[in-house]
Amino acid sequence: MTEKEKMLAGKIYDSSDKELAELRAKAHKLSQQYSSLYEDDERRNAILDELLPDHGEGFFLQGPVYFDYGVFTKFGSGCYANFNLTVLDTCPVTIGDNVFFGPNCTIATPVHPFRWQERNMKKKSDGTVYDDEYGKPITIHSNCWIASNVVITGGVTIGEGCVICAGSVVTRDIPPNSLAAGNPCRVIREITEEDSIKYKAELF
């Protein structure tokens, strides 16, 4: 297996691998270029197509954005992300249709060893620095709202129609149509018809 194949399969891989280093450098440059442009600058669309080639129609990232690779993240149609979306996609990140992100959200697939003896940086015989790490994929199904300052960790699947409340740290799967909050994030209750805004007269 190549180091990229190992990484995407969730195995220990060499992060100093030349192919991976070049992919990261490209994604970091494209993220910076995108973030430096005003939101009505049409050049942003071309940058997004290169940074995130697997995306649906009508999705918008406010910026600034930060992607580790970009090419390993898939966005569906109609998605929106507010300021400061960070995606560390060492494993595949799959985002469905109509998923909304509040400001300062982080999607982090990387996992590091718990023991420092295995986690600390190491040197190869040629002086190249590397570390042992691996990752776990993240899936966010369609029609979810991920509110401000949410962190989603590797290996998590969020079911369709969920609301993840602000400040949550999602470390386990969340079933569909759940209102969930906290650190660690837990299901509060199911979202039902009674949550419709049509029953909130004070809003109209």
- The residues annotated with a catalytic role in the active site are 112
Collapsed DSSP state (helix, strand, coil) of residue 83: coil
Rounded distance between C-alpha atoms, residue 107 and residue 171, angstroms? 11
Closest residue by Cα to residue 24 from 76, 81, 66? 66
Burial class (CB in 10 A: 0-12, 13-18, 19+), 124: exposed
- Paired residues of 191 in beta bridges: none
Rounded distance between C-alpha atoms, residue 41 and residue 124, angstroms? 44
Rounded distance between C-alpha atoms, residue 14 and residue 158, angstroms? 29
Rounded distance between C-alpha atoms, residue 65 and residue 35, angstroms? 6
